[in-house]
Structure 1
Amino acid sequence: MPVKKRTPWLEAFYAVIPLCLSYIPVGLACGMLLQKAGFNIFLTALLSMLVFSGGAQFLVVSMLSVHASFVSTILMVFFLELRYALLGSSLSQFFKKEKRSFIALFSQSMNDENYAVNYLKYSTDPEWNRKKALYVNWFSMASWTGSTILGTIFGSVIHVDTELVHFALTAMFIFMFMMQMNNGLLLITGLLSGGLAIIFMLMFKNTFGLILATLLASFVGYLIERFRKTSNTKNDGPNHYDLTGEEVHHE
């Protein structure tokens, strides 16, 4: 007998269920911290759907706990989430024929983890399509939002020390920083950003110092990278080819 094919939503569910399960403990913790920061169930659900990023939501809690301004919080989240521009560009090859309305809908529910699931499926499964990819996003968002809502409910009856907010956020970003340590330039940029952040926070007595430190360190990293590429190009010199079209290297 022929094997009955799964419906798109069921196939997407099977692909994303490990991710959904992994969201539960982190989402519960995030929801509890949001409750301590003054969020109710409705605000937690709204934030989880509009800012579908655990890192960004932990950052929001941290910024609120130090009474940062609304503008500073928005800018910090913006710079943190700029990585999605790179993630989205690598997925764009699979959405060349899609309408902008669908791309906007898909982008709103994309995050780091469901990006990885969809990129893997698109790269290995020729039958993977836009509907399945969107289901993956929606299932993961539903899991995260439900977990943060439950965390908010639990937070109203379970005592959580608000100092855990700073510890959790610091630990998370140290982990994210270390996971990207694949060359010296990133290490230099990260250490420079941390040093400048301390100096500017002491100078301005405001979270604007974090934003300024991030911008300056990133710009310095960009200049160093550009200088290295320019130097390598000059040292290599122009390429020469023989009559057969093969590249000739001169020692």
Structure 2
Amino acid sequence: MPVKKRTPWLEALYAAMPLCFSYIPVGLACGMLLQKAGFNIFLTALLSILVFSGGAQFLVVSMISVHASFVSTILMVFFLELRYALLGSSLSQFFKKEKRSFIALFSQSMNDENYAVNYLKYSTDPEWDRKKALFVNWFSMASWTISTVVGTIFGSVIHVDTELVHFALTAMFIFMFMMQLNNGLLLVTGLLSGGLAVVFMLVFKNTFGLILATLLASFVGYLIERIHKTADTNTDGPDHYDLTGGEVHHE
């Protein structure tokens, strides 16, 4: 008897299930903090669908708690989410024949975790297709949105110290930074950005200092990388040290 194949949505659900369960505790916490920041269930749902990023939503809570301006909040979220341009470019090889309307729909529901699931599936499963990939995105977004909305409902009846916002956000970004720390250039850029942020916050006394620190540190990191690549190209001597990879190259 031939084995009955799973429907696309069911296969996607099996692939996304661990991801969906992992969103529940973080989504509940995010929803509770959003409620303390003044969000109701409708605003929480809208933010979770349109932004669909735990890091960005925790950042929004933190910015609101320090009375940051709307422009500063938007800019900080923009800089934080720029990484999706790189994630999306690595997936583009699988969507070369897709219409722009589908790519826009897929991109709106993509985040770090479902990107990893889809990239792994596309790389290892020859039968993985656009429909299954989109279902993975939608299942994960539904899990996150439901979790944050339930958290917002709980937040109205459970007391949560708003100081936890700063602790949770700091811990999350330290984790994100350490997960991406794979070369010396990132370490230098990260430390420079942190140092500049402290200085500029003291000087400007508002969140514009964070934006300026991010821009300057990124620009310095870019210059260091360009200078180092130029030096690598022009080096004819014996050995030199690669700052971006931490390895010694033999010419």
TM-score (norm 2): 0.94
Larger radius of gyration: 1
Q: Say whether residues 1:46 and 2:62 are aligned partners.
A: no
Judge conservation of contact 2:33–2:162 (CA < 8 Å) in 1: yes
Unaligned runs of at least 5 residues, structure 2:
none
**SS of residue paired to 2:218:** helix
CA–CA distance in structure 2, aligned partners of residues 240 and 152 of structure 1: 55
Question: Could you tell me whether the CA contact under 8 Å between 2:122 and 2:129 is conserved in 1?
Answer: yes
Q: Is the 8 A contact 1:59 1:77 kept in 2?
A: yes
In the superposition, relative to structure 1, how do residues 172 and 156 fare at CA in structure 2: closer, same or farther (>3 Å)?
same
TM-fit CA distance, 1:180: 1.5
CA gap 1:239/1:147 in 2 versus in 1, 3 angstroms = closer
**Misfit runs of 4+, over 6 Å:** 237-251
What pairs up with 1:206-245 in 2 under 5 angstroms? 206-236=206-236
Could you tell me how far 1:80 is from its partner in structure 2?
A: 0.1
User: Separation in 2 of the partners of 1:226 and 1:23?
Assistant: 39
8 Å contact 2:238–2:250 — kept in the other structure? no
Distance 1:244 1:121, change over 3 A: closer
User: RMSD of the alignment, in Å?
Assistant: 5.1
Q: Secondary structure at the match of 1:249?
A: strand
How far is 1:190 from its partner?
A: 0.5
More off after superposition, 171-180 vs 30-39:
171-180
User: Post-superposition shift, 1:183?
Assistant: 1.2
Alignment of 1:108-187 (within 5 A): 108-187=108-187
Q: Deviations over 1:120-174 (max 9, x none)?
A: 0000000000000000000000000000000000000000000000000000001
Distance 1:36 1:245, change over 3 A: closer
CA contact (8 A) 2:228 2:243 kept: no
Q: Which runs of 5+ in 1 are unaligned?
A: none
The 3 A distance-change label for structure 1 pair 154 and 239 is closer
Q: Please, what TM-score do these two structures have when normalized by structure 1?
A: 0.94
What do the CA deviations read for 1:189-231 (whole angstroms, capped 9, x no partner)? Answer: 1111011101111111110000000000000000001000000
Could you tell me how far 1:108 is from its partner in structure 2?
0.2
Q: Is the contact made by 1:196 and 1:213 (CA closer than 8 Å) also made in structure 2?
A: yes
Cα 1:237–1:101 change in 2 (3 A) is farther
Distance 1:225 1:241, change over 3 A: closer
Q: Which moved more, 1:238-247 or 1:173-182?
A: 238-247
Give distance in 2, aligned partners of 1:236 and 1:59: 47
Change (3 A) 1:224 1:249: closer
SS of equivalent to 1:236: coil
Cα deviation, residue 237, structure 1: 8.8
- Check the 8 A contact 1:239/1:247 in 2, yes or no: no
